[in-house]
Structure 1
Amino acid sequence: MGLSQSQKDLVGGSVGGVAQVLVGQPFDIVKVRIQTAAPGTFASPLECASTLLKNEGPMGFYKGTLTPLLGIGACVSIQFGALEWSKRFFSERNGGKELGLPELYASGAIGGLANTVVAGPVEHIRIRLQTQPANAKLYSGPLDCAAQLIKSNGLPGLFKGQVPTMFRDGIGYGCYFAAYEWLVQRHIRENGGSRADISPLYAVGYGAAAGYFLWGSIYPIDVVKSKLQTDALNPSQRKYRGMLDCFAQTWRAQGWRGFTGGLTPTLVRSPFANGATFVAFEMAMRAMGGPGGAPDIPVPDAIV
């Protein structure tokens, strides 16, 4: 028995997510290292990348990769399920008419919030692995990291930084879906045709642009989340009491610049990650006998 269209969408989305992680991981680890380092540690993203390469070798750029690879399927499934449920809910309320941007924003936000159930602990583990020193290995892998987090702080230890993660994903994915849909609707109004007629090149471009909207709307929150998730596990040794305290301390120490560390590799990463996601999604869908052409809404530049 063949796969249903929903199952094909989930498989295609998961394949796209894996490609996104593999292409985007080197940029992401540079972003996280800059976000969590003491002010003045790196003069530029290039210096951070050069230091990482020198001290940890090429595979240093893929530290913590296994965690998002294992979690991407669950994240995509939850996000797609919540997104589609929300779109149906709003469609029923407005009599089946095409959803407007506010409804698309709300649907994306709901999908993003639902996604954090898995994305929060997955990203916490990944960041712990990405920032552990090469000469003082603290964790042998994702499972060992999870076990140590639970041992030191119980199950809530896995969800450290969950509040900013929820703010980030709710706001960010709302902006992503609304921006992508606005660009697609504008393209159709100006060029005619339907979604299926939009070339893959335009779809990749719109996905990349929507990714910039995503990161532009939530980057300071992402910085705070990274700082909280690399803070000491022992409550008596923690630097920050919570999200608001982290915001306040970062502002006092560095001003607005404290919320932009690692932004450059993030913006450079976005078109490459979205391009890889789209190509992998298309190849997977065609291999399963699915329809070609641009997907209604491609898998976004995943935060996980």
Structure 2
Amino acid sequence: MSFRRLLAALASAVLLVAAPGVEAANASAAPTTAVPAARTAVPAVRTPVVAVSERSARARPRPRVTVRDRDRHLVPGHWATIKVKVRNASRATARGVRVRVGKRSGLTFRKRALRVGALRPGTSRTVLVRVRLDVTASRTLTLSAKARAARTRTAQVRIAPRATTWKGTLEGGEPISFTVSADGRTLRNFTVLRAPGVCANWWDGGTQRPARLDTVVIPEAAIGADGVAKAYVDLPDDEPDYDRRAHVRALFRGGSAASALFSYSEEYADPDHFDYCRTEPHQIPWTATRQ
């Protein structure tokens, strides 16, 4: 291209820029052809789908409270321990778990609320409930476990008094033993081994000689509301001509027996041919404590 032609082209370009109306007029006069607009592909945005199962949607803490021994027999007036197991049976962590002991007349507790803390799914923990039975009748104890955002679960324990074993000695050291019924109203099987005594008979001229008596068992004696047990008992004997009689007395206070006495005698029924044995002294003091 020559230099002149290059200048002419530049001049025409300057005119087009300075006068846009001319270009518009030329453009309107020129035939137009519709050019379809290019389509821009917009990438599809996928929303992630989270699968929520019905079981996971319902996952809430479920602390369960269990007691191995649902029937407990306690000694009235004595403290006992009840083991309470709390288990998280859900797929969610149980937080703020507590065990509460229901209030019940005739029962005394060291604590009525015990803190368990957090329990992970499937784990368990055991707490100790200290209880004392203050009456001689059965009671039902209710234990409950509660966690945050969880229902309260309960378990019940039946508490009943049990018979108690007592052991002691006569004043001379001879052993004695017996039991007291669960309701505290009956003394049973009061047993004395080799109580000290004296014996005499007509063929020896009535001379008394020291002796150790055979085992004496008093089957039963009632205990009054004042705690006093008193009984005179005729005991059976293999020989019908012998009379055997025993006496027991005691005042029960808590776990001990006070003002307690024991006596025993056996004699031949024929006054012309006497033969007897009895405790010496006639009333022997004794002591015993609940085991």
Shorter-chain TM-score bucket reads under 0.3
TM-score by length of 2: 0.23
Which one has a larger percent helix, Structure 1 or Structure 2? 1
TM-score by length of 1: 0.22
Which one has a larger percent strand, Structure 1 or Structure 2? 2
